[in-house]
Amino acid sequence: MGEFRVGVIGGGQLARMMLVPAIELGINLKVFAEAEGSSASLGVTQVGDYTRIEQIAEFAKTVDVITFDHEHVPISVLEALEADGVKVQPPSKALNFAQNKLSMRLRLNEIGVAMPRWAAVETAAELDSFIAENDGKAVVKTPIGGYDGKGVRMVTSSKDVADWLKPVQLAKSGGKLLVEEKVAFVREVAQLSARTPSGEFKPWPLVQTTQVNGVCDEVVSPAPGATPQLHMRAAEMANQIAKGLGVTGVFAVEMFETEDGRLLVNELAMRPHNSGHFSIEGSVTSQFEQHLRAVLDLPLGDTAARAEVALMMNLLGVDDEVDFFNGFDAALAAYPSAKIHTYGKSPRQGRKMGHVTVLGESLASCRAQAEGCAMILRSL
Ligand code: ADP
């Protein structure tokens, strides 16, 4: 039997969670991690610096295709690999849009995707005039390097981002800031899907996501109350974006749902995503298995739901002391139907340490179990 070899750059929890389906399918998954003792250490074959082309090129020789646990590998490194004939999925030209929120907005504009009103600004005056045109409030974002709400600020005046407008800081953002209307959304939703290099596309149902302090807290699949039309519309938007940007592999489109039923695209992630962790137990094919299939250009798996409701709750680090394993036995005993995932990271306040998924027939019961389970894990 031939062997499929996938190389993942980055040793975080996403690479860790790709290991299980890789073992099941018999795919040889190799991980390039930035440090010893990473979340995906079981699969690590090389530790190094992902900004160094010679190190990544050496790693690439050991696999058939390169993919990612995060979106931070410099585009120049990926272009050099591609020029050498290495398969990179998603390709550098697509990933570029995930690394820079301004490039992403420009491209989505070109292909006609609905978004919040936005502008690129360089000066306090430009920003203040955008704020004035948008009812005195706006959301300012650094185009490069933000995650989990870092690099996002709600503002009513340019003074609120005076630090980001200083020349040195502005240069780090690529010379411009992104400003958006502050959308009065009724909720946030995410459309997870996968696309292969040959063009096969498969969406999961639209999910509802809840952020606390800019960090994902809870995901419910399917999004409660979503009509078949809404599911279809979201999946069509994801397909249009995937085609328009040349995305391959699993990717997530984070969106705002407005009171008048519009879907406005907020963010794109070109890799398995926190909004898709529910799929490990909640779907016939998990996002991690689907990602491996997609980057290898294999046929995609069924994304149908395995329960009426799947609810995922993140376990964020409480402080440097609370180790979720302290309450592990008690949580397992109290909630035997909850699926607890831990990422093997040392505790730190606010860090994504793991998650809990509960499947069931009612949202209220799934949520009660996930909350109860998370509470035991967090508090002991
Ligand atoms: P990150 O890349 O750090 O995750 P996002 O762009 O996703 O940042 O923004 C983080 C959160 O901030 C969003 O999930 C949403 O709750 C809020 N937010 C971002 N942009 C807007 C906007 N234009 N209007 C209203 N809320 C927003």
Do the Cβ atoms of 290 and 296 come closer than 8 Å?
A: no
* Among protein residues, the one whose CA lies closest to atom 15 of ligand 1: 214
Last residue of a domain, one of 136, 163, 181: 181
Q: Compute the distance between CA of residue 282 and CA of residue 303 in angstroms, rounded to an integer.
A: 9
Same domain, 205 and 296: yes
For residues 281 and 368, state if they share a domain.
Answer: yes
Q: Which residues line ligand 1 at a C-beta cut-off of 6 Å?
A: 116, 139, 141, 146-152, 180, 182-183, 188, 211, 214, 254, 266-267
Does 128 reside within a domain?
A: yes
37: number of Cβ within 10 Å: 12
H/E element, 17? helix 13-25
Amino acid at 63: V
On whether both 171 and 200 belong to a single domain, the answer is no
Please state whether 45 falls in left (phi above 0), alpha (psi between -120 and 50) or beta.
Answer: alpha
* Shared-domain flag, residues 160 and 286: no
Q: Is residue 33 part of a domain?
A: yes
Distance (Å, whole) CA 335 – CA 359: 12
Output the six-digit token pair for 138. 């706006």
Whether residue 341 is contained in a domain is answered as: yes
Last-in-domain residue among 181, 208, 230: 181
> What pLDDT does residue 347 have?
87
9 falls within a domain: yes
Cα 300 to middle of ligand 1, angstroms: 30
Q: Which domain holds residue 49?
A: 4-88
Q: Rounded to whole angstroms, how far apart are CA atoms 180 and 161? A: 14
**Residue 312 domain-assigned (yes or no):** yes
Q: Measured from the CA of 183, which atom of ligand 1 is nearest? A: 24
Beta strands in the chain (DSSP E): 5-9, 28-33, 44-47, 65-68, 118-121, 138-141, 152-155, 177-180, 185-195, 201-203, 207-212, 215-221, 249-258, 263-269, 309-316, 339-342, 352-360
CA of 151 to the centre of ligand 1 (A): 10
Pocket test for ligand 1, best of 267, 275, 314 (most atoms within 8 A of CB): 267
Q: Is residue 94 part of a domain?
A: no
Is there a single domain that holds both residue 126 and residue 196?
A: no
172 plus 190 within the same structural domain? no
CA of 149 to the centre of ligand 1 (A): 7
Q: Judge contact between 313 and 212, C-beta under 8 A.
A: no
| For the chain, the helix, strand and coil percentages under 3-state DSSP, each to the nearest 5 | 35, 30, 35
Region of residue 14 (left: phi > 0; alpha: psi -120 to 50; beta: else)? alpha
- Give me the DSSP letters along 55-90: HHHHHHTT-SEEEESSS-S-HHHHHHHHHTT--BSS
pLDDT the model gives residue 318: 85
- Asked whether residue 78 is assigned to any structural domain, the reply reads yes
With beta carbons less than 8 A apart as the criterion, state whether 159 and 153 touch.
no
Domain co-membership, 175 together with 200: no
Domain identity same for 203 and 162: no
CATH of the domain at 149: 3.30.1490.20
- d(Cα 245, Cα 271) in Å, to the nearest integer? 14
Same domain, 135 and 49: no
Is there a single domain that holds both residue 67 and residue 137? no
Q: How much distance in Å is there from the Cα of 292 to the middle of ligand 1? A: 29
Q: How many angstroms separate the CA atoms of 46 and 53, rounded?
A: 14
* Distance of alpha carbon 331 from alpha carbon 364, whole angstroms: 19
Query: Do residues 21 and 50 share a domain?
Result: yes
Residue 308: DSSP 8-state: S
263-to-78, 152, 191, 257, 378 alpha-carbon distances in Å: 32, 20, 11, 5, 34
* pLDDT tens for the 380 residues of the chain, in order: 578 999 999 999 999 999 999 999 999 999 999 999 999 999 999 999 999 999 999 999 999 999 999 999 999 999 999 999 999 999 999 999 999 999 999 999 999 999 999 999 999 999 999 999 999 999 999 999 777 778 999 999 999 999 999 998 898 888 999 999 999 999 999 999 999 999 999 999 999 999 998 899 999 999 999 999 999 999 999 999 999 999 999 999 999 999 999 999 999 999 999 999 999 999 999 999 999 999 999 999 999 999 999 999 999 988 887 777 778 899 999 999 999 999 999 888 889 999 999 999 999 999 999 999 999 988 75
CATH code at 233?
3.30.470.20
Nearest CA to ligand 1 atom 11: 214
Q: What is the CATH number of the domain that holds 76?
A: 3.40.50.20
Number of domains in the chain: 3
* Token representation of residue 293: 């299939």
R_g of the chain computed on alpha carbons:
21
Of 70, 88, 106, which residue sits at a domain end?
A: 88
